[in-house]
Structures are given as structure tokens and as C-alpha cells.
């Protein structure tokens, strides 16, 4: 396959799709499947046949639209009519009215327009619109054209330059400039070089990477081949959690399809470039998503981080230069190459370009998967996109950045989404989790809960994280069962500072964030627990002794 073939596939596919007046996209990703998405898909296929409209209406299995709370979601084009909570029973009605008579069924339509208005879908541009099981669908939207552009027109240095100029920063959480990372690996002298795509999304309530892989696996693959060309790597691994069966299936299919038409393998697009891709499955440890632990796991060893330096860019997999990149960062590469770094800079902030996917969950009206431009404020995300707090309850805090993120109060909701401003208020970008808490949440208990998570997930290698967090949790147990003393707060702060500065990897270095931010913004709640032995939210002190285990 060469460039002409790709263009031909795209044209054929577009023509094929144009033959249909309507296209019904049924979301079949992890959010909607439990609600019966496959049954809905089947019902649509049957219904279009029943009404004899299969020639004008294409029913497609797609990935996530983003409205995960009202699944199964069905998107009908043209016009992007989004139906929510579709059941096999009301499928006939929708087909009859919308497809046969051309009248959308209002009562089933998703009404929260604001949910999409402030979003900016770049990475998720294809999510919910293309069939992830068909490579033609991806190619028809311009897929693999960026790869062709790289291989046929650009030099590896040129590719890196384009990524550098885009200002793209790593979406895995730390925000290291992607272009700089690529050039570091490109400059390393040892060969062979490797790429590891990080899809080990272990945070509770975070599902952005999973959704991306389920909805648009080829975007990840294309990003990896481009990166491979840029840094001179011929082998890549996608490290994915085994808890993501649909994403694994989607990626496996996509890799097989790409191999079939020679987009993976030797002589890609008729050039000298070689690239092979393999999946590696995680066994469920959160810490395996840490960049050095992931290397250990890919090598088949216990997923324990190791100190840096040496950095993976010089000594990674089997001590060879390795590029480790979150899948979201990689999926940004194709359209940066196609449209140019300058174009990409028009999104987001000057020093923090592009968009970021977030899993919006918790006590919020419109939970789901969102993609927003950098620079949007937390208030806009919670109130404009998320639609505020349900059941007339009051907002209390928002946890940004997963279990080791920060608990932020109302007063800092004007904080912008970008690496530095989040850091300045005590949170992190992390894996892109936003959990909203209402007045029924106790902040002491929240900090205890997330500390607990980090203890469970600590690999046990370094003293601060393994032993330090465990001692911190005992102090929380005391405070939440009425045995707290005033000096507990000092010990919490002292131990947190130690754990942050002395821990080996990112897990330990960020684990005390929920503690420090709750102490910073909700100190009065700690005092209330310690001095008055009271929990305003009514969460703590429920057990007579030894509670909060």
C-alpha cells in the first residue's frame, strides 16, 4: 500500500458513506455496553431492515460520544441528533419517525446543549462518529495521511520540529514537552530504540484513555508509527490494563488491520520505514503506569519503579533508549503533523497548547468524558459543561488529578486548566480525573480514602511511600474515630512533606496532595474532628471503635 492506495481507500469509503442519507452511530464503548448498547445496535439493524431503509441508512457501531451517564447513546447524522438512554424497545419508534419520516423523536433527545458547547474535540474528534473496527472509517476522515506526509515528505528531524513547535506537553500528567522528549530519544546513540504507549489508566473514576482506545484505536497506532519514524524506533508496545477488554479488542483488531494493508511491518507505504506493534497487558497495579515501572512490566518483571537518572530516553527497555508516552499525547501527533504546529497553537493557552480529555464524575449533573481546551476554568467545567450539582445540594470541593490530585474549594474554581496553574493551587493534571464532591462529603474522610488508595497501590519499594503513607493513614483513623489530637495536624504535614520529597516515584511524590490540599483549604474540618469530635457531613465517627478501616 502506498499513498495513492490510501487516497483511494478514503475516496471509496467516502463515496460509500455518501450513498447513505442517514447514519446511525450506536455507542458501544464500556460506558454504554452495560446498559445494553449491543442489543440496541442489533435492534437498529433489525429496524432499518424492517422498515426497508437499509439502503439509505447506515447503522454503525462506534465509540464513546461522551455522555456516559445517559447510555446507550445514539448519534444520528446528519444533524448530530443525540438520543439518550436508548432501549431496544424505543428503537423502532426512532427509526420510523427519524429515518422514515424525517422527524427526530424529541422526547428521547439529549437536551444539555451546554455539555458540548465549551468542549473542543481534537483527540476525540472521531469518537462516536467512526466505526473503530473498520480501518476504512479512520482513513476516510484523513487517517494515516499524516503518516504518509511524514514518511514521504518530512525528515525525522522535521517531524520532531513540528511537534516541538506545537508546544504539545505530555498528557500523562507531568506535562513534559513531547517534542523535547522525542528529540532526546532521537539523539540517544544506542539502538534498537523502543516506544511504549502508556494505556495503564489505573485511577478510580478515570476512563479517558480507555475511551480513546475504544473509539479511535488507529489514532494511537498512527501516532506511534509517526513517533517511531521521528525517533528511529522500529518496535512499539502498547501497555494496556487487562481490565479494559473492549479497548484491547479494539486495538488488537486495529493492529491486525494495519498490518494487513502494510501500515505496520516492513516497508510502510512503500518506504524503508519499519515499525511493529505489540500489546502488553498490565496485571492490575496502579503503579505500573509509572514510567519506569511500566518498563519493568513490559520486560516481564515486577512493576517496581527505579530511580532516575538514568532516564528512559537513554536507558529504558532492556537498557535501550525508549520513548514512553501517554496514548493521548500520541493521538495528538497525527493532526499536528497534518495541520502544523502553528495551527495546533491556536488551541488552548500560549504556554500550554491544545486540549485535554477529562473524566468528569462525582456529584454532578452531566458526568461523562469531556475534552476541553487548556485554559478553561474549573468553574466552566463544573457548571457549564457539568451542569452543576444535582438535587439542590451545595458544591463543596473538586478533586482534580485522580487519587493523588488536589481537593479544591469553591474559592479557587477560577483556576485555569493548565499544568502550572493547577500546581499552584495544589492539584495536578494527573491522568485527567475530575471528581466533584457535594456538601455531604467530609474532607477529612476524603483525604483518608485517597490515602488508603495510594497505600494499597504503593509498590512497597521505598520507605516513605510504603511505611510513611501507612503511618499517615493511622493518624487519619484516629482523627475520624474521635481519638485525634491537635499535634496530629503537624505530624500529617511533616510526614506529607517527607513523603513528597523523599519518595522514589510519582506515586509517592504526589500521594499526599489530597492531604495537603484538604489541610490548606478545609483545615477547620480537621479541627472540628479533633477538638469537637464532630463530623459536619456525618461521615466519620459512625463506628464505635476501629472504624474507617
Partner 1 sequence: MTEISVVSLKIDGVQVSVPEGTTILKAAKDNGILIPTLCDLEGLTPYGGCRLCLVEVTGSPKLFTACTTQVNPGMEVTTNSVRLKNYRKMAVQLLMSERVHMCAVCVANDHCELQALANQLGVDHVSFERHFTRETIDSSHDFLVIDRNRCILCTRCIRVCDKIEGVHTLDLKQRSKDTEVIMDLDESWGDSCSCTGCRKCAKVCPVGAIYIEGESATQTKHRDVAEFITERRKRK
- Residues interacting with partner 1, by CB under 8 A? 285, 287, 302, 306-307, 309, 455-464, 466-468, 470-471, 474, 491, 494-495, 498, 501-504
**Residue 455 C-beta: closest distance to partner 1, Å:** 6
At 94, list the grid cell: 426512532
Number of Cβ within a 10 Å radius of residue 527 = 13
CB of 308 to partner 1, least distance (A): 9
Non-local (6+) Cβ contacts of 520 within 8 A are: 426
If the CB atoms of residues 154 and 465 are measured against partner 1, the closer one turns out to be: 465
CB of 335 to partner 1, least distance (A): 34
Across the chain, how many H-helices and E-strands are there?
Answer: 23, 15
Give CA–CA dist 290/306, Å, rounded. Answer: 10
Q: Give 314 or 441: the residue with its C-beta nearer to partner 1.
A: 314
Measured in whole angstroms, the distance separating CA 539 from the mean position of its chain's CA atoms is 31
Q: How far is the CB of 310 from partner 1 (least distance, A)?
A: 8
Q: Minimum distance from CB of 469 to partner 1 (Å)?
A: 8
C-alpha cell at 516: 495537603
Minimum distance, C-beta of residue 519 to partner 1, in the bound complex (Å): 18
Grid cell, residue 52, equals 426497508
C-alpha grid cell for residue 146?
499524516
Helix (H, G, I), strand (E, B) or coil at 195: strand
| CB-based contacts of 348, cutoff 8 Å, min separation 6 | 354, 355, 373, 374, 375, 418
Instruction: Give the C-alpha separation, 29 to 66, whole Å.
Output: 10
Closest CA to 358 of 200, 242, 205: 205
How many CB atoms within 10 Å of residue 190? 11
Mapping DSSP to helix (H, G, I), strand (E, B) and coil, where does residue 544 land?
coil
Write down the least CB distance from residue 123 to partner 1, Å. Answer: 30
The distance of closest approach from Cβ of residue 302 to partner 1 in the complex, given in angstroms and rounded to an integer, is 6
Q: Which residue has the cell 442517514?
A: 22
Decide whether 128 or 468 has the Cβ nearer to partner 1. Answer: 468
Instruction: Closer to partner 1 by CB, 373 or 468: give it.
Output: 468
Nearer to partner 1, 261 or 502 (CB): 502
Min. distance of Cβ 462 from partner 1 in angstroms?
A: 5
Question: Which bin fits 269, alpha (ψ -120 to 50), beta or left (φ > 0)?
Answer: left
Our CB check for partner 1 shows the closer of 250 and 285 to be 285
Q: Name which of 66 and 305 has its Cβ closer to partner 1.
A: 305
Measured from the CB atom, is 120 or 503 closer to partner 1?
A: 503
Nearer to partner 1, 241 or 356 (CB): 241
DSSP character string of 450-509: HHHHHHHH--S-SHIIIIIHHHHHHHHHHHTTT---THHHHHHHHHHHHHHHH-SSHHHH
The minimum distance between CB 226 and partner 1, in angstroms, equals 31
CA separation for the pair 329, 368 (Å, rounded)? 20
d(CA 485, CA 390) in angstroms, rounded, equals 36
Decide whether 375 or 403 has the Cβ nearer to partner 1. 403
Amino acid at each position: 500500500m502506498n499513498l495513492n492506495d490510501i487516497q483511494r481507500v478514503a475516496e471509496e469509503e467516502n463515496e460509500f458513506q455518501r450513498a447513505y442519507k442517514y447514519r446511525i452511530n450506536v455507542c458501544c464503548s464500556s460506558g454504554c455496553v452495560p446498559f445494553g448498547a449491543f442489543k440496541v445496535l442489533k435492534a437498529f439493524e433489525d429496524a432499518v431492515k424492517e422498515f426497508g431503509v437499509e439502503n439509505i441508512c447506515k447503522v454503525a457501531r462506534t465509540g464513546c460520544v461522551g455522555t456516559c451517564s445517559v447510555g446507550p447513546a445514539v448519534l444520528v447524522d446528519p444533524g448530530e441528533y443525540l438520543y439518550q438512554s436508548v432501549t431496544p424497545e424505543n428503537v423502532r419508534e426512532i427509526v420510523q419517525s427519524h429515518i422514515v419520516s424525517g422527524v427526530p423523536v424529541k422526547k428521547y433527545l439529549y437536551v444539555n446543549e451546554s455539555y458540548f458547547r465549551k468542549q473542543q474535540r481534537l483527540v476525540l474528534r472521531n469518537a462516536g462518529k467512526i466505526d473503530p473496527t473498520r480501518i476504512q472509517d479512520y482513513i476516510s476522515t484523513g487517517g494515516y495521511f499524516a503518516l504518509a506526509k511524514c514518511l514521504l515528505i518530512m525528515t525525522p528531524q522535521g517531524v520532531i520540529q513540528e511537534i516541538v513547535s506545537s508546544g504539545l506537553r505530555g498528557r500523562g500528567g507531568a506535562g513534559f514537552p513531547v517534542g523535547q522528549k522525542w528529540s532526546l530519544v532521537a539523539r540517544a546513540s544506542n539502538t534498537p530504540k523502543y516506544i511504549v504507549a502508556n494505556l495503564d489508566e489505573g485511577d478510580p473514576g478515570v476512563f479517558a484513555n480507555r475511551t480513546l482506545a475504544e473509539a479511535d484505536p488507529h489514532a494511537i497506532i498512527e501516532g506511534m508509527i509517526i513517533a517511531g519514524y521521528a525517533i528511529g524506533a522500529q518496535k512499539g508496545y502498547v501497555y494496556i490494563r487487562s481490565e479494559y477488554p473492549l479497548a484491547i479488542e479494539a486495538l488488537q483488531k486495529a493492529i491486525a488491520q494495519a498490518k494487513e494493508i502494510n501500515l505496520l511491518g516492513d516497508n510502510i507505504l512503500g518506504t524503508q520505514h519499519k515499525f511493529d506493534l505489540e500489546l502488553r497487558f498490565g496485571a492490575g497495579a496502579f503503579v505500573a503506569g509509572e514510567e519506569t515501572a511500566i518498563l519493568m512490566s513490559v520486560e516481564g518483571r515486577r512493576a517496581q519503579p527505579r530511580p532516575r537518572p538514568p532516564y528512559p530516553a537513554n536507558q529504558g527497555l532492556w537498557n535501550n533508549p525508549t520513548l514512553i508516552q501517554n496514548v493521548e499525547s500520541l493521538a495528538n501527533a497525527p493532526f499536528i503533523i497534518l495541520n502544523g504546529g502553528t495551527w495546533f497553537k491556536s488551541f488552548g493557552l500560549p504556554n500550554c497548547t491544545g486540549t485535554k480529555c477529562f473524566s468528569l464524575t462525582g456529584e454532578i449533573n452531566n458526568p461523562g468524558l469531556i475534552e476541553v481546551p487548556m485554559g478553561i476554568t474549573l468553574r466552566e467545567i463544573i457548571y457549564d459543561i457539568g451542569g452543576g450539582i444535582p438535587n439542590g445540594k451545595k458544591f463543596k470541593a473538586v478533586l482534580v488529578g485522580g487519587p493523588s490530585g488536589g481537593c479544591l474549594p469553591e474559592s479557587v474554581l477560577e483556576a485555569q486548566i493548565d499544568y502550572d496553574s493547577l500546581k499552584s493551587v495544589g492539584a495536578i493534571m494527573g491522568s485527567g480525573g475530575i471528581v466533584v464532591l457535594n456538601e455531604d462529603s467530609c474532607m477529612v474522610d476524603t483525604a483518608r480514602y485517597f490515602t488508603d488508595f495510594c497505600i494499597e497501590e504503593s509498590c512497597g519499594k521505598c520507605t516513605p511511600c510504603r511505611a510513611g503513607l501507612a503511618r499517615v493513614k493511622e493518624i487519619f483513623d484516629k482523627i475520624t474515630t474521635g481519638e485525634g489530637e491537635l499535634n496530629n495536624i503537624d505530624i500529617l504535614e511533616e510526614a506529607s512533606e517527607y513523603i513528597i520529597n523523599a519518595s522514589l516515584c510519582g506515586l509517592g511524590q504526589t500521594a499526599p496532595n489530597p492531604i495537603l490540599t484538604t489541610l490548606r483549604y478545609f483545615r477547620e474540618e480537621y479541627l472540628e474532628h479533633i477538638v469537637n469530635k464532630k463530623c459536619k457531613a456525618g461521615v466519620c465517627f459512625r463506628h464505635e471503635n476501629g472504624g474507617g478501616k
